[in-house]
């Protein structure tokens, strides 16, 4: 009985530490009085918990002017150098690695380009480990401060056991990547889906910072979405929630990379737009379709208009399902061609189901490709930071 009670107290204490730390992270720098208001706790409790966080070296006092009043106040901020994590982003063309501080800032980064033969799991993992080692060394950080590595890649991921269940772009099945990196480098490692981690980064450090319910939709080589509720990734039972690109739109439609027909993403992804264009003219990349459309070629305009329509279908489906306050639009298709964004925004004004119009903001990824590193490093920080004192 006594034991259980002790464990309960320990649990409450850990939760309180995490809650106050999250408030400081979100509102930094912040005074104790403001934390009292937000946390709805007594000043004594807040002071005690802040004291523990300072003992852990995670939080420090800074003297600065408080807003408006003009007199000096002691504010609390994160000790940015106290926790370092490594963010790794992998796709079939590139490995990106960055060293990230406690405030989600990239201190140093590097990348290597991959050849098609490099994407075999053993070769790729070896290259990633080599790059992680180099980046840690070249960043000149104190490597003892590194608490973990987060890995982001496209596919279905079991983040609990660190397994890539299936990644179509990499052609991987059942690869235990987290374990492999962990045993090679002796640093705790976690892996998750790239779109989910992008959403996490945007909701904590990017355009979704003031949103409690952020959905991110990614239009690029595939179409994916993710939902962040109060700073946490909504995963569903097996971490597949948000795979909106594989919603069936036309059961007799063209084949998708997933092996089924008529998935939503087959109407939007670059490769399919290029294939469609080739029915009319020899086209090798999406840029050419945009060029032809700019010159007023009807077929090119029609291809892009249809893509815009299905991008609006995607956004409408997301808001109908999740009712978020913010939709962050990201991905190579929209980042490379801002004009497509304008059209999506314009069409959404009338296309979105009426009760949902005006209930959410459409924002554009602020962090862009930086989120590929900040997302996984944030997951590593959230997962491996312990409050043992
Ligand atoms: Zn599919």
Q: Can you give the pLDDT at residue 67? A: 60
The larger pLDDT score, comparing residue 13 to residue 6, is at 13
Contact 128, 95 (CB under 8 A): yes
Q: C-alpha 381: how far from its chain's center?
A: 13
Q: Compute the distance between CA of residue 340 and CA of residue 326 in angstroms, rounded to an integer.
A: 19
Q: Compute the distance between CA of residue 172 and CA of residue 194 in angstroms, rounded to an integer.
A: 15
Q: 220 alpha carbon to ligand 1 midpoint, in Å?
A: 14
Q: 264 alpha carbon to ligand 1 midpoint, in Å?
A: 7
Q: 342 alpha carbon to ligand 1 midpoint, in Å?
A: 27
Q: 387 alpha carbon to ligand 1 midpoint, in Å?
A: 42
Q: 179 alpha carbon to ligand 1 midpoint, in Å?
A: 29
Quickly name the fold that domain 2-78 has. Arc Repressor Mutant, subunit A (1.10.10)
Residue 91 pLDDT exceeds 60: yes
Q: 256 alpha carbon to ligand 1 midpoint, in Å?
A: 5
The larger pLDDT score, comparing residue 260 to residue 221, is at 260
Q: Can you give the pLDDT at residue 387? A: 76
Q: 262 alpha carbon to ligand 1 midpoint, in Å?
A: 7
Q: 259 alpha carbon to ligand 1 midpoint, in Å?
A: 6
Strand order in the sheet with 84-90: 106-113, 94-100, 84-90, 146-153, 189-193
Per-residue pLDDT reduced to its tens digit, 224-265 = 999 999 889 999 999 999 999 999 999 999 999 889 999 999
Residue 2 pLDDT exceeds 80: no
Q: 223 alpha carbon to ligand 1 midpoint, in Å?
A: 9
- DSSP-derived secondary structure letter, 256: P
Q: Compute the distance between CA of residue 141 and CA of residue 185 in angstroms, rounded to an integer.
A: 16
Per-residue pLDDT reduced to its tens digit, 274-298 = 999 999 999 999 999 999 999 999 9
According to CATH, where is 3.30.420.40 located in the chain? Answer: 84-198+372-384, 207-365
Tell me how far apart the 2 most distant CA atoms of the chain are, in Å: 77
Q: 366 alpha carbon to ligand 1 midpoint, in Å?
A: 28
Contact 136, 146 (CB under 8 A): yes
Nearest to 99 by CA among 131, 53, 57: 131
For tokens 């052609």, the residue is 171
Q: 375 alpha carbon to ligand 1 midpoint, in Å?
A: 25
Q: Can you give the pLDDT at residue 68? A: 63
State how beta strands 189-193 and 146-153 pair.
Answer: parallel
Contact 162, 176 (CB under 8 A): yes
Contact 207, 360 (CB under 8 A): no
Q: 167 alpha carbon to ligand 1 midpoint, in Å?
A: 12
Q: Does domain 207-365 have CATH number 3.90.70.10?
A: no
Q: Can you give the pLDDT at residue 125? A: 98
Contact 53, 386 (CB under 8 A): no
Give the architecture (CATH level 2) of 84-198+372-384.
2-Layer Sandwich (3.30)
Other Cβ atoms closer than 10 A to 107:
15
Residue 41 pLDDT exceeds 70: yes
Q: 244 alpha carbon to ligand 1 midpoint, in Å?
A: 9
Q: Compute the distance between CA of residue 111 and CA of residue 90 in angstroms, rounded to an integer.
A: 10
3-state secondary structure of 174: strand
Q: 135 alpha carbon to ligand 1 midpoint, in Å?
A: 36
Lowest mean pLDDT among 60-69, 142-151, 195-204, 315-324: 60-69
Two tokens at 66? 């408080």
According to CATH, where is 1.10.10.10 located in the chain? Answer: 2-78
pLDDT class of 74 with cuts at 50, 70, 90:
confident
pLDDT class of 335 with cuts at 50, 70, 90:
confident
Other Cβ atoms closer than 10 A to 108:
14
Q: Compute the distance between CA of residue 388 and CA of residue 328 in angstroms, rounded to an integer.
A: 36
Q: Can you give the pLDDT at residue 72? A: 72
Q: 272 alpha carbon to ligand 1 midpoint, in Å?
A: 12
Residue 140 pLDDT exceeds 80: yes
pLDDT class of 186 with cuts at 50, 70, 90:
very high
Q: Compute the distance between CA of residue 24 and CA of residue 33 in angstroms, rounded to an integer.
A: 12
Q: Can you give the pLDDT at residue 267? A: 96
Cis peptide before 29, with omega less than 30 degrees from 0?
Answer: yes
């Amino acid at each position: 009985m006594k034991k259980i009670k002790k464990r309960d107290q320990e649990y409450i204490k850990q939760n309180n530490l995490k809650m106050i730390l999250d408030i400081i992270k979100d509102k930094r720098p912040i005074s104790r009085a403001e934390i009292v208001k937000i946390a709805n706790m007594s000043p004594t409790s807040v002071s005690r918990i802040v004291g523990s966080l300072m003992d852990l070296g995670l939080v420090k006092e800074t003297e600065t002017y408080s807003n408006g009043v003009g007199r000096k106040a002691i504010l609390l901020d994160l000790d940015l150098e106290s926790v370092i994590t490594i963010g790794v982003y992998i796709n079939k063309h590139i490995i990106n690695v960055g060293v990230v501080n406690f405030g989600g800032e990239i201190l140093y980064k590097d990348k290597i380009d991959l050849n098609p033969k490099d994407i075999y799991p053993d070769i790729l993992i070896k290259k990633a480990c080599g790059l992680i080692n180099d980046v840690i060394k070249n960043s000149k950080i104190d490597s003892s401060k590194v608490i973990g590595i987060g890995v982001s890649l496209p596919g279905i991921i079991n983040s609990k056991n660190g397994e890539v269940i299936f990644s179509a772009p990499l052609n991987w099945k059942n690869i235990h990547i987290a374990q492999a990196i962990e045993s090679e480098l002796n640093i705790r490692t976690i892996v998750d889906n790239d779109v989910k981690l992008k959403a996490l980064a945007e909701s904590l450090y990017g355009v979704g910072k003031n949103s409690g319910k952020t959905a991110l939709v990614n239009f690029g080589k595939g179409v994916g979405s993710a939902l962040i509720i109060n700073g946490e990734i909504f995963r569903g039972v097996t971490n597949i929630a948000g795979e909106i690109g594989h919603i069936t739109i036309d059961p007799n439609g063209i084949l998708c990379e997933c092996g089924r027909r008529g998935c939503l993403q087959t109407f939007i992804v670059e490769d399919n737009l290029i294939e469609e264009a080739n029915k009319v003219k020899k086209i090798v990349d999406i840029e050419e379709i945009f060029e032809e459309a700019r010159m007023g070629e009807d077929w090119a305009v029609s291809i892009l208009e249809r893509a815009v329509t299905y991008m609006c279908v995607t956004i409408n489906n997301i808001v109908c399902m999740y009712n978020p306050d913010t939709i962050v639009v990201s991905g190579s298709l929209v980042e490379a061609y801002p004009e497509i964004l304008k059209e999506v925004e314009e069409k959404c004004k009338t296309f979105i189901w009426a009760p949902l119009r005006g209930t959410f903001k459409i924002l554009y990824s602020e962090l862009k490709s930086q989120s590929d590193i900040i997302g996984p490093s944030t997951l590593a920080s959230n997962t491996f930071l312990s409050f043992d004192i």
